[in-house]
Amino acid sequence: MLVRVDPASETPLFEQLAASIRQSVIDKSVTAGERLPSARELASSLGVNMHTVLRAYQELRDEGFIELRRGRGAIIAATAHSYDTLADGITAIVAEARTQNVSLAALTALIREEYK
């Protein structure tokens, strides 16, 4: 599993971390049940605060991507791999948005509106 963060970016570090791990689950470079590095390990490895990693892990747990277990650390949740049809749908929507010259901001606004 690959995790990338850029401390110089304007996006908060915990969001970058969560996005990176989420992406690994969606593109299947990690499989269900695989152990994630411990928060302490990942924090020292990336040179970020441990609470930043924990916050990202908690967000991913709330989204159902990972399971946090006391003493066992974080593992990829068994329920995490159900994004295939969604990903296909999004590919189609983005392609459609491009042909109609709809901007990313406008598209996300539409999705946000629909999701409410």
Partner 1 sequence: MTLPAENVAPQLTRNRRLIIVIGVVIPLLITMAAAFVMALWVPELPNPVASHWGTSGPDGYSTVGSVIALPLLLTLVFAALAAFGSWKGGPNGGMLWAHKIMVAASVFLSISLSVTAAGSLAVQRGLDNAENAPAIGGIALAAFPIAFVVAVFAWLMLPASERIQSTPVAAKPIAGTTTQRVHFSSTTRVGAGVLVVVAVALLALGIALGVQAVSNPAELLLPAVIGLVVMALAVSTLSWRVTIDQRGLKVRSAFGFPRATIAPDQIASVATVEVNPIGEFGGYGWRWAPDGRSGIVLSKGEALEVTRTNGKRFIVTMHDAQLAAEALATVAKK
Q: At closest approach, how far in Å is the CB of 41 from partner 1?
A: 8
Using the structure block, give the residue that is written with the tokens 């189609």: 92
CA-CA distance, 43 to 7, in Å (whole number)? 13
**Cross-strand pairs, 69:** 73
Q: Does 66 bind partner 1 (CB under 8 A)?
A: no
* Of the residues 34, 83, 97, 107, which one makes contact with partner 1 according to CB under 8 A: 34
Question: Considering the complex, what minimum distance in angstroms separates the CB of residue 4 from partner 1?
Answer: 5
Query: CB of 16 within 8 A of CB of 9?
Result: yes
Q: Which positions touch partner 1 (CB under 8 A)? A: 1-9, 29, 34-37, 42, 45-47
